[in-house]
Amino acid sequence: MNVNQAKDRIEELSMELEGHNHQYYVLSQPTISDFEFDQLLKELERLEEEFPLLALPNSPTKRVGGDITKKFASVVHDFPMLSLSNTYSKEEIIEWENRLKKIADGEIEFVCELKYDGVAIGIRYVDGVFNRAVTRGDGTRGEEVGANVKTIKSIPLQLREGDYPNDFEIRGEIFFPLQRFDALNEQREKDDEPKFANPRNTASGTLKMQDSSVVASRGLDCYLYGLYSKETLKDSHWGSIQAAGDWGFKIPDTNARMVEKMKDIEDIMDFIEYWDEHRHNLPFEIDGVVIKVNDYRQQDELGFTAKSPRWAIAYKFKSEEVTTVLESVTYQVGRTGAVTPVANLTPVLLAGTVVKRASLHNSDQIAELDLRIGDTVYVEKGGEIIPKVTAVDMSKRGLQVQPLEYISHCPECDTLLIRNEGEAKHYCPNDASCPPQIKGKMEHFISRKAMDIDGLGTETIDQLFESGLIKNSADLYHLTRSDLLPLERMAEKSVENMLAGLEASKEVPFERVLFSLGIRYVGETVAKTLARQYGSIEALRIASEEDLVEVDEIGERIAESVVEFFSREDNSKIVQSLMSSGLRFDIPEEERNQGTDILKGQAFVISGVFERHSRDELKSLIEQNGGKNTSSISSKTSYVLAGEGMGPSKKEKAEKLKVPIISESDFEAMLA
């Protein structure tokens, strides 16, 4: 066989094998036997060995794995991979729908789909070919695990014919089928190895394995249900997913009621109740139902909060509950000084994992539950993640048990605890020298959404603190090679990485540096607001409480906290040291000059589709020029910026409240 003949045969076999994969793993309608499939695959493997330069990048032979990945690259998501808000009752869904109706124009249609209990994944395709696969990570960036995802046979490596975008991402959930998971645990038991706790954690661990051939052997599966692209998609979520099925993706089965369209709460609750009853019959695990607004235009209109889309919500099924014995209560101190009581329990299996500890939240909950050491307590996983004690089985309470007394002094530094009026938690006020508070602040400082310092983690912070090399975040920038090399587990390469990460962090923008300081109540969004308003740490430092509360979305509690932070000498010294180290404590002049205060004090509502700008671009222009974006029309709205397809209800409300409706050209004229 010559090269041209081999090239043609390799392409023919690759296409034929991918077609059979689709028939078997996606449609469950095999057209050839396993033996015949294996013979075709072996022929392709032989040809690729004989003509290695002709092997296609996404050859079906990649399905069996074999790639070794020492380190998974960190990748920034093109579209943030946000989590969903959770709800547990019909009343909360009704409240959510009512909020949507105040913002979105027209009748709202919903799509309900299963909430798979697996690992979220985003898979990118370029010109119809598998390009990469990225885990959720922290929502902003994740890990590239494409070599392992390619081994999942229900995920196409080359799309079928269709009108798909040239460059797009499809998201879904990778899970461990229960039959495969049980078989794996049976084999581990035979091999005298510890059994895996649950399918979700095992799927997550499998995706991070270095040897993709092991991943291939485990038989993971995937449902895909969300399309993202900068190119034009269909008009609706439903339309996009049905199209994805035509392109070759394994999408939720409409005939099995895995996904349905509906128009009212009663239909939504019927779908939820059906799956709450029938979920245990599925060959994989689910932990709830996801409800989404179907229309993309309405999704765009509804937008996002800092953490989740407004147009989607997850209904979580009631958690599994077990009983066990409360053996003792210990107390943890967080970076803000908040004290959290923790129940130490007789180990018990709950939702696939062994639980030994559970949160008790605060002293009020302990009193409300009337908890006593030795009690038999009910434990559940709140949202299937964090175990919590929910009640006491009074029928099993002994006569000798004594009521629990909440601690009065910090368990770490013995400082008298305080409890502020109106707050549930007790606090240790000794934030200057209480070890977990100091370390907690430094861990917050280096975290991904703050300074994001490569080469530094929680264990390293602990090691540096215990060795006496650092007492606060500013000390990190005074570390040298000679300080670090003598430490345990500090090799030349890791020291270089840490010092390079610290140097690179000096380019982190002011808003994130401000967030990294750990000022109480100043989260990401508030830090961004304050950075834009004041422009520099010096201007913010001298602001009074009265000045601060004048800033949009800054209340009295935040204002008090900011002023109190800068009034303390130890905090001022840390900030001054960080400034001396070269961190960015202001917004550069050229960036400040990009905007104006032309729209200062003006509140805008955007509705419709525009010719020259996207809605996000318009929102950004409003903020850059001192204005404020709001989602619904009220008497405080200054203008409604209307494009094509503005909803009649918004127009009617604006006219009723006599709010001016302006066009895209009007808005551009305002800025000019």
Q: Which is nearest to 350 in space by CA: 296, 311, 390, 297?
A: 390
Q: Rounded distance, CA 356 to CA 333, Å?
A: 19
Q: The tokens of 241 are what?
A: 């997913």
How far is Cα 291 from Cα 92, in angstroms, rounded to an integer?
12
Q: CA-based angle 489:492:497, to the nearest 5?
A: 90
What's the CA angle centered on 644, arms 642 and 646, to 5 degrees? 55
Question: CA end-to-end span of the chain, whole Å?
Answer: 70
Q: Is 115 a catalytic residue?
A: yes
Measured distance CA(221)–CA(497) in Å, rounded: 37
SS3 318: coil
What tokens were used for 391?
Answer: 């009640």
Q: Could you tell me which residues come within 8 angstroms of residue 581 by beta carbon, excluding any fewer than 6 positions away?
A: 474, 477, 478, 506
Instruction: Give the number of C-alpha atoms closer than 13 A to the C-alpha of residue 26, restricted to the C-beta side.
Output: 23
Q: State the Cα–Cα distance between residues 538 and 540, nearest whole angstrom.
A: 5
62, 115, 150, 425: the active-site residue? 115
Number of H helices, E strands in the chain: 25, 21
Residues in the chain: 672
The residues that bridge with 292 in the sheet, in sequence order, are: 111, 312
- Coil, strand, or helix at residue 161? coil
- SS3 of 603-626: the string is EEEEECECCCCCHHHHHHHHHHCC
Which of 30, 31, 27 is CA-nearest to residue 255?
Answer: 27
Structure-block tokens of residue 595: 């905007």
How far apart CA 46 and CA 69 sit, in angstroms, is: 25
H-helix or E-strand containing 457?
Answer: none
How far is CA 544 from its chain centroid?
35
Strand partners, 325: 376
Nearest to 642 by CA among 653, 650, 634: 650
Residues whose CB is less than 8 angstroms from the CB of residue 146 and which lie 6 or more positions away in sequence, other chains included: 130, 131, 132, 133
Residue listed under structure tokens 């959510």: 96
Taking the C-alpha atoms of residue 3 and residue 54, their distance in angstroms, rounded to an integer, is: 9
608, HSE (Cβ side, Cα atoms, 13 Å): 19
Instruction: Using DSSP, state whether 538 is helix, strand or coil.
Output: helix
Helix (H, G, I), strand (E, B) or coil at 590: helix
Q: List C-alpha distances in Å: 566 to 187, 491, 577.
A: 60, 38, 14
Among 310, 261, 276, 313, CA closest to 92: 313
| Nearest C-alpha neighbor of 247 from the set 353, 184, 182, 165 | 165
* Active site members: 115
